[in-house]
Amino acid sequence: MVCVGLTITGVLYQAGEDATDAISQKALVDMISRIHQGTEQHLLSAHSTLKSVAPDLASVGNNPVVGAISFPEETSKIEERLWVASDLFPDMNRHVYFGGADGRFVGVNRSDPDTTELRLKEANSAWRNLYHMAGPGSRLSLSRTDRYEPRERPWYRSAVVRGGVAWSPVYNDFSSHELVLTLAKPVYRADRSLIGVAATDLPLQRLTMFLQSLIISPNGIAFIAEREGGLVATSALELPYKIEKAVPTRLMARESAFPLIREAYRDVTETLRVSPGSAPFMMRSFKSELGKIQLAAMTLPNEKGLDWIIVVAVPRSDFMSNVTRNLYRSLSLGMIAMCLALVLGFVILRWALRDIRKLTLAARSISSGQPFAPLNIDRNDEIGQLAQSFEEMERNLRTDRLTHVLNRESFISQIEFRRQNASLANPLHFSLLFIDLDNFKTINDEYGHDCGDRALVEIGARLQSALRKEDAVARFGGDEFVVYLHGVNADALVQGISDKIRAVVEEPITVYDGIPANVGASIGSAHYPADGEDIETLFRVADLRMFESKRDRKTA
């Protein structure tokens, strides 16, 4: 009896260890990916806002292209641009402004949804006037004045010194004294003389609020820090600055009130110091006074002046706590059962291991890319929450990261599932459409890959909106899509749907600065089971017919 009990204990503990290792790694990878995407979104919002104020001036050599958008020098026109830019991302970039090389300053600060502050300073004045107003063209109400010289501010100097778009060092805002980061861009005349610097603020508090909204674990923590140690944002109930003599100053990671932040930062920086050429993403574990810590970190270098580290650290006990409780509960039941009968003991053992075994198998399935079956774990504890996280990760794996339509593997799996569940009483009929985008390379060549990506996202959305609920669309390759038409195999009907899809795709797409671009679509179809009874054959037939359609359209 004692040997059987020890065996059960060992099996349970090893199963818990295996499941915990797989689950914790997946959870950390998922969390740090979410933080990286959220941080990039905050940074990209500033870039987009700034580009709307000061678009890149197209040029050939040192000569501006005729018709390129230049930066205006009239204060009223600059103010118009600032109003438009402040509407793009009002939750992130509320303060958009311009400091002139002649000492002028124009700023639009939408700190309140109902009230806007317009900040104006003339070139020959040392004083800046701050007005309250309801919106563009509304009545101005002077609220206060202050002494202000934009050319002495960190954001102005960093942009001028770099000679291009640059993130300023983190500094105290002149008015609110909060810690902010500013993206600034110098603007020039055609003769390359400086007009001034356009800028937009990114309050660090926004990143902190984003991290604090994430559910990590009971004792886990996430933070973003500069490589030299200054905290940028943290999920802890701690602001990334401290008050000294009524003035906020930077809080260093090594000075944090949370031991997990201090120890995680020390471990990451030591790893980067020993291996300066290490990969941008790292997964580690280390021992501390808090026990064993599992850590994931990602560097976020930026050629515009940022060098940040994203860190997620979770005590392993957070993952193991519920497993340990299940271990003791299952062991107690097993000992009671063994006293009654050895067979009953093994039945209880299987019950105890059921959910842990499901999670272990699910982790292996996700790692190998195999189809993910529903876990059906109806629990409200940590294992139940981890089961929900697995199902959410599986949904993310189904879709293409750029266009959010199905990816190729998920598309094929869904068709195979339908084929396997078909029968003589309920036969399966469907058609595949293979869509190749014409002239798409022109968008990438003329406007850049970012514009090409936006075009692919728009086309994916159009395809989804043009289909029925039971149909499906997937991104097959770079500029190729496939469509599944459930229960459709009549040539006339398929042709009608193809014409509808072609018309939807060929509608002009605005990819860059209001300029429309036209993308064509060559479409080939294959019918199941008339054209083939396996997926590869159907794809090959549809692909050949697509090329025939492309050839016919070129010769027409």
Please tell me the predicted confidence (pLDDT) of residue 552: 84
Please tell me the predicted confidence (pLDDT) of residue 62: 43
**Three-state DSSP string of 217-262:** CCCCEEEEEECCCEEEEECCCCCCEEEECCEEEECEHHHCCCHHHH
DSSP secondary structure letter of residue 406: B
Counting as low any pLDDT under 50, the low residues of the chain are 58-68, 367-371
Please tell me the predicted confidence (pLDDT) of residue 197: 95
Question: Residue 374, preceding bond cis, omega within 30 degrees?
Answer: no
Please tell me the predicted confidence (pLDDT) of residue 126: 93
Give me the residue label for tokens 């020098």.
Answer: 73
Half-sphere exposure of residue 225, counting CA atoms within 13 Å on the CB side?
27
148 class by beta-carbon count within 10 Å (0-12 exposed, 13-18 middle, 19+ buried): buried
Q: Which tens digits make up the pLDDT trace of 197-253?
A: 999 988 878 788 888 888 888 889 999 998 888 888 899 888 777 777 777 778 899
String of b and e for 293-328 (b: at least 16 CB within 10 Å)? Answer: bbbbbbbbeeebbbebbbbbbbbbebbbbbbeebbe
Signed CA dihedral, 196, 183, 58, 513: sign only: negative
Q: Crossing angle for the helix pair 316-340 and 342-368, nearest 10 degrees? A: 150
Please tell me the predicted confidence (pLDDT) of residue 28: 86
Nearest to 295 by CA among 308, 305, 282, 307: 282
Q: 233, 204 in Cβ contact below 8 A? A: yes
CB atoms within 10 A of CB 230: 19
DSSP secondary structure letter of residue 405: S
Please tell me the predicted confidence (pLDDT) of residue 364: 58
DSSP secondary structure letter of residue 399: B
